Structure 1
Amino acid sequence: MEFLININITWPESLSEERIAEISAAERAMAAELGARGTLVRMWRVPGRRENWGLWRAATPTEMHDVISALPVWPYMEVQIIPLAVHPVDPAAASGEIPD
């Protein structure tokens, strides 16, 4: 199952730059692992913002929640998760490039 996910990060002013750097490094490492597993498929940055959109895969919405809520930046995220369904005119679906 695929999900379009929007993540907006707001760091509290009380968080030190050092702590933000630690969390960010842990986030990048976890993103690399999720990418290698095929859970994180694509990621786009919103220019000029601490925001991104990503294409993610998980077997169920519950599994997707578990993955997102385990991210190191979770406490500082506002997240929107949109489950996606195959559209009959999607060229990738017609060619078999994407999973059901």
Structure 2
Amino acid sequence: MEFLVDMVTTVPPGTSDDEVADMRRQEAAHTAELIARGNVLRLWRPPLSPGEWRTWGLFRADDADQLETVLASMPLRVWRRDAVTPLSPHPSDPGQPA
């Protein structure tokens, strides 16, 4: 299954720039692993308001429980709220095999 995930991160007040940079490094490294495993298919940066930290991601997982395991494994999850939309193929999708 594929899922669209709207990920909004809020850095806790008082978090140092070094802590934020370290968390971003950890997130990038783990996301690379999830890409290699086929769980992360695409990432987008939507239009942002000043100070907003947000990503849209297209994820693949067997089901919602596996997706939750994937999302929970991401370091930024401790600062993030996720809105998950399960996706299903559209019969007119040009990306579908004939």
Gaps of 5+ in 2: none
Mapped to 2, the partners of 1:73 and 1:55 lie a distance apart of 17
Mapped to 1, the partners of 2:9 and 2:46 lie a distance apart of 12
Gaps of 5+ in 1: none
1:59 maps to a residue whose letter is: D
Asked whether 1:54 is paired with 2:57, we answer: yes
1:81 alignment partner, SS class: strand
User: Which residue number corresponds to residue 31 of structure 2?
Assistant: 31
1:81 maps to a residue whose letter is: V
1:73 alignment partner, SS class: helix
Mapped to 2, the partners of 1:51 and 1:57 lie a distance apart of 19
Asked whether 1:87 is paired with 2:90, we answer: yes
2:72 maps to a residue whose letter is: S
Asked whether 1:76 is paired with 2:94, we answer: no
1:85 maps to a residue whose letter is: S
- Cα RMSD of the aligned pairs, angstroms, is 1.1
| TM-score for both structures, normalised by structure 2 | 0.91
Q: What fraction of aligned residue pairs are identical, expressed as a percent?
A: 35
1:84 maps to a residue whose letter is: L
Mapped to 1, the partners of 2:46 and 2:25 lie a distance apart of 19
1:43 alignment partner, SS class: strand
Q: Which whole-Å deviations, capped at 9, do the CAs of 1:23-65 have from their partners, x for residues lacking one?
A: 1100000011111111100000124331011110001110000
Residues matched between the structures, number: 95
Mapped to 1, the partners of 2:46 and 2:9 lie a distance apart of 12
Mapped to 2, the partners of 1:52 and 1:18 lie a distance apart of 21
Mapped to 1, the partners of 2:89 and 2:7 lie a distance apart of 23
Aligned with 2:70 (options 63, 67, 80): 67
